[in-house]
Amino acid sequence: MTSPSDESAVSDLQDLITESGTVSEFLNELALFAARTISPAIGRPVECAVALRRRRRTITIAGSSEEARALDQIEQALGAGPCMLALETNTTVLLNDVNGDPRWPDFQHELTNRGYHAVLGIPLELGKDSWAALDLFAPAAGAFTPASIAIAENFATIAGDALRLAVRIGTAQLLAEDLKAAMTSRSTIDLACGAIMAQNRCSQEEAFAILTRASNHRNQKLHQVAEELLLGLSGHVPPSARFEA
């Protein structure tokens, strides 16, 4: 059962999805929203980064500030840190004092140089083929108490649902764009075949075979050869040699 504050967070996150044009834009808005929402529970301002990893795609990093984004990028480059471990183990990872914890010395050096002394990594549940985590950075050691960690984890549960929806919408948009590109290529090829049929008084099957041979001979993709033929016929570029059987 959700509390009134949870319901407000769900509504706000849904608004962010509809207002964001891409998954990257949503991630940046999510990072800002997380920092604003969780800071009161910590009792001081915190910065937030969000790391999203999708199968067959590079990792996407967003942040509530340039500092947060830079720190998460450093952590990803080093391949070790609270956020990375949260992604790998799907569990909350706490680094509550950079001076009293022996883990990740290289990353801790970067943290202290930028004035941060505590980090909390929380995984976001996205289902198969996608993984994400919140990286919360606090300036004071011991900033994350059990109570504030519980609040951050509850927010992460709500945020995970919103991000899962945003990723699905983003994936559907990419599939639609791929399909549109494929249909455009198919139309271009069909038009080129029609031109070859008129030139050579041949069937569509024979015209397609001619276009395919030209594609192989020129070492170009089929739709590129078709585009060149149509441009030549339209007079926008000097016409190439006739496509003959």
Domains of the chain by residue range: 4-172, 182-234
CATH architecture of 182-234: Orthogonal Bundle (1.10)
Whether residue 228 contacts residue 188, with contact meaning beta carbons closer than 8 Å, is answered with: no
Residue 103 has a pLDDT of 93
Q: What is the largest CA-CA distance in the chain?
A: 83
Model pLDDT for residues 157-199, shown as the tens digit of each residue: 888 777 776 666 654 444 444 445 554 556 778 788 888 888 8
User: Hey, what CATH class is 4-172 in?
Assistant: alpha beta
Q: Is 226 helix (H, G, I), strand (E, B) or coil?
A: helix
Which has the closest alpha carbon to 60: 180, 175, 166, 172? 166
Express each pLDDT in 41-85 by its tens digit: 888 899 999 888 876 555 778 889 899 989 988 998 898 999 989
**3-state DSSP assignment of residue 192:** helix
pTM of the prediction?
0.62
- Percent of the chain, pLDDT > 70? 75
Domain 182-234 in the same topology as domain 4-172:
no
If you average pLDDT over residues 131-158, what whole number do you get? 90
Determine the pLDDT at residue 169. Answer: 60
> Nearest CA to 26 among 172, 163, 171?
163
Least-confidence region, from 91-95, 114-118, 206-210: 206-210
Spatial separation of the C-alpha atoms in residues 45 and 48, rounded to whole Å: 10
